[in-house]
């Protein structure tokens, strides 16, 4: 069985962020969303708390440019395990690449 969680990080960056030259509006709140899937046959009965913590750690690293989290600030998260939310995100993502 697989469990999924839709996770979004919201954050600001400082001028020392390693990818500052690629961020369109560095003074604005940035965000990144992804779906995390956990295979309970392999991982056992993972609960929502563990899924959220895994996603938080991963998203912080992504927001930091893949290096560290020193240059991201004002971090908040949003989570959903609602399959309709996950399906909607996946459909929107698929449309971008058609």
Predicted pLDDT at 40:
85
Separation between Cα atoms, residue 77 and residue 52, nearest integer Å: 9
- Which tens digits make up the pLDDT trace of 56-83? 999 999 999 998 899 999 999 999 999 9
Confidence tier at 10 by pLDDT (50, 70, 90) = very high
- Which tens digits make up the pLDDT trace of 21-70? 999 999 999 999 999 999 988 888 889 999 999 999 999 999 999 988 99
Predicted pLDDT at 98:
86
Separation between Cα atoms, residue 87 and residue 84, nearest integer Å: 5
Residue 93 token pair: 């993502």
Element spanning 82, H or E: none
């Amino acid at each position: 069985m697989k469990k999924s969680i839709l996770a979004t990080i919201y954050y600001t960056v400082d001028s020392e962020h390693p990818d500052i030259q690629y961020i369109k509006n560095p003074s604005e709140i940035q965000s990144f969303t992804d779906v995390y899937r956990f295979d309970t046959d392999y991982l056992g009965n993972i609960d929502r708390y563990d899924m959220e913590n895994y996603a938080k750690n991963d998203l912080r690293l992504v927001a930091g440019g893949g290096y560290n989290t020193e240059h991201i600030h004002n971090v908040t998260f949003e989570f959903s395990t609602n399959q309709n939310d996950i399906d909607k995100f996946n459909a929107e993502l698929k449309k971008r690449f058609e």
